[in-house]
Chains A and B, each alone.
Chain A
Amino acid sequence: MRQPVSINGILKVRRLTIIPLLSAGGAVIFVFESMIPQPLPFAKLGLSNIAPLIALYIFGLPEALAVGWLRIIIGGLFSGSLFSPAFILGFSGSGAAVLTMYAGLLLGRERLSPVGVSVLGAAGHNIAQVITAGLLFVGHHALWNILPFMLLFAAFTGAFVGIIAWEILERMKLID
């Protein structure tokens, strides 16, 4: 299931170093982002999604899931929101984002650039969050009304995140 990469094979050491590096980077962005005041509940950039997106391109699905969830756990630990509702929402959202991004990647690298993959991930993230919030916390369909606004935002924030991740991937010379 591993994605082909331009570097020749993936050394175990390389995996052992890059995965924590990406998780740590993601966690730092995650914590910094939670310090930015949010004017609206859905207006979040989701910059920390760069980390799992890069992991998905370098390695594959399991590593991307690990990076995605590690950054939420570490970030939650630092921002003091571990196991709070926001943490659970982030956890489910991150998992869904990685899965939808993986689905996007399966469509083919020649069809979809990291920008498209990231937009898919952002949309998956928001949909999963609304479903989780509806199931666990609000228990009501009224929450669905917020979804269009979240998706509208996701189209732009997802593209922004995708452009940054693409730039990083190219500068790291990990994809052509």
Chain B
Amino acid sequence: MDKIRRMKKPDWALMIGLILLSLTLMGWNLTRPQGGQAVVLLGSSVLRIIDLSIDSVYIIQGKISPVTLAVKCNSISVIESDCPLKLCVHRGAVKRTGESIICLPNNLAVYIKKGKYRGVDAAAG
């Protein structure tokens, strides 16, 4: 506790600055608009693009296990995956542009892209 009292002003400024910076970045993330499609990446290659306006369930083969994705009310979530920590499942549903779900053990990333879903051909192009 003696150390906390002896912390100098720049120390506090650094800590508070860092907290404010992270809160601003979080707030900025919240203001992003909802996106219309989800891009599923395995590594750095696009596996498929999912239309978020149609509720459905998708099963995608990740690196170590199949991953079950659920689309509901314009949002997407990972509902099942066999990875050890299940961080992707706990991440919950995402729907705003730029938001993402990442499952490192499966090398899988899902992120929301803005714009309307334009069909399979758009994904290929």
Contact = CB atoms under 8 A, between A and B. Distances in A.
A98 to B, nearest CB: 17
A64 B25 CA distance: 31
B22 A137 contact: no
Interface string A4-28: 0000000000000000000000000
Interface in A114-131: 115-116, 119-120, 123
B31 interface: no
Contact of A152 (B7, B19, B107): B19
A163 B3 CA distance: 6
Q: How large is the interface on B (under 10, 10 to 19, 20 to 34, 35 or more residues)?
A: 20 to 34
Nearest to A153: B22
A113 B19 contact: no
Contact of A151 (B7, B21, B44): B21
A107 interface: yes
B15 A155 contact: yes
A163 B43 CA distance: 40
B122 interface: no
Nearest to B44: A139
B102 A119 contact: no
B107 to A, nearest CB: 8
Contacts of A137: 104, 107
B60 interface: no
Interface string B89-121: 000000000111010100101010000000000
A118 B88 CA distance: 30
Interface residues of A, number: 36
Given A140-B41, A142-B100, A152-B22, A107 B15 contact: no
Given A119-B15, A140-B111, A148 B22 contact: yes
Contacts of A107: 10
Interface string A88-101: 00000000000000
A70 interface: no
B26 to A, nearest CB: 5
Interface of A: 38, 40-41, 85, 107, 110-113, 115-116, 119-120, 123, 137-143, 145-152, 154-155, 158-159, 163, 166-167
11 contacts: A113-B3, A116-B11, A119-B15, A137-B104, A137-B107, A143-B100, A143-B102, A151-B21, A152-B23, A152-B26, A155-B15
4 shortest interchain CB distances as A-B pairs: A142-B100, A139-B44, A116-B11, A148-B25
